[in-house]
Amino acid sequence: MSRKRSDFENSFFGKLSRFVNGEYTPFKEESGYSVDQTETERRLHDDFFKEAEWTKKQNEADSYVSEYEGWAETKGIKLYNRLYRILAGVVCVAIIAVLLYTVSMLPAFGNPDNPANNEVPERYIEKGLEETGAVNTVAGMILDYRAFDTLGESHVLFIATICVLVLLKINEEDEKEKKLAESDDRRLEPKNDMILRFGARFLVPVIELFGIYIILNGHLSAGGGFSGGAVMGAGLVLYLNAYGFKKTERFFTMRTFSIVSVSALLFYSISKTYSFITGANDIESFISNGTPGNIISSGLILPLNICVGMVVACTIYAFYAIFRKGNL
């Protein structure tokens, strides 16, 4: 019986035997793994280096972001302020130049031959009743001759209300902010003020009826949509101060404001578009001016007065409610 060699483990046949049994690999130096290292350890090894590489890249990205934020908070703000001032100055100079050029093209002030001193007032006074059917010359002027300008003024009121609402409206989803606003408003609610409520009970109906009268007679006498709407808005504010939001919200909410204002502006726009088209194309309008002096007369001036009055009344109440409560 032969003896096993002392260096059998390192001999060719010894290494071959170990290679067959999975105990030896001739690629040990190239792979970088030990003979008994498992597949799981190899994966952990790869994951470790991948995570280290990702962490390195993340740190580099964070350093870039920090550097950018630092620049934005220091040099970026200074650059923005400089550009803002330069652009603001350029815009102001351009506007001033346009206005000065426009003024230079106007006729001399006080010249009796200027159209503003003869033709325009003469047309309003002499032809106003015939062309508009309005006894009130001012109403005929602002709602017929210059109806487009009045349309813009009504839209300005609506847009101003929306802007104030956007800036001051409380966040309904934020319970803390909502409760804080309600608690502040409760201190402004009437505390059973019998004198105020008793006075409002009689004054509010009278004020609202007077406002309606001013609107409906705006084409016959002094008044109109702007003044009558202001009176009606004041009546709503008085009612709110006397009885509080809880009772006022039964008939006036954000939905009410939206429906009334949008409907009035849409009717105004559509009706005057019809008037502009018929007037520009010399087409006879089917809307009659009626008999001057009657309540139903002056063509579209009466319904336009109602539209303007509704917008003004809603705007006045909305401003007060938003500034006081942060919502309608």
**pLDDT tens digit sequence for 261-297:** 999 999 999 988 888 888 778 788 788 888 888 888 8
* pTM over the 0.75 mark: no
Residue 299 within any structural domain of the chain: yes
Q: What is the distance between the alpha carbons of residues 227 and 312, in angstroms, rounded to a whole number?
A: 9
Domain containing residue 197: 115-325
Mean of all residue pLDDT scores within the chain:
79
Is 245 a domain residue? yes
DSSP state of 25: -
Residue 124 is predicted with a pLDDT of 83
Please tell me the distance from the alpha carbon of residue 296 to that of residue 305, in angstroms, as a whole number. Answer: 12
Cα–Cα dist 114/120, whole Å: 10
pLDDT at position 50, please? 66
Provide the pLDDT for residue 276.
83
Number of domains making up the chain: 1
Q: Is residue 178 part of a domain?
A: yes
Q: Rounded to whole angstroms, how far apart are CA atoms 313 and 308?
A: 9
> Is the model's pLDDT at 52 over the cut of 80?
no
Q: Determine the average pLDDT of the residues in 15-19.
A: 66
Instruction: Indicate if the pLDDT at residue 135 is higher than 80.
Output: yes
**Is residue 71 in a domain?**
no
Query: Has residue 26 been placed in a domain?
Result: no
Band of pLDDT at residue 11, cut at 50, 70 and 90: low
Greater pLDDT, 245 or 66: 245
Q: In whole angstroms, what is the distance from residue 30 CA to residue 261 CA?
A: 82
Token pair 């890249």: residue: 57
Task: Confirm whether 13 is domain-assigned.
Answer: no
Identify whether 231 is part of a domain.
yes
Residue 186 lies in a domain: yes
State the DSSP code for 136.
S
C-beta separation of 24 from 18 below 8 A? yes
pLDDT of residue 148: 84
Q: Report the range of poorest mean pLDDT among 31-45, 142-156, 279-293.
A: 31-45
Contact 268, 165 (CB under 8 A): no
Confidence of residue 314 (pLDDT cuts 50, 70, 90): very high
Per-residue pLDDT, 131: 84
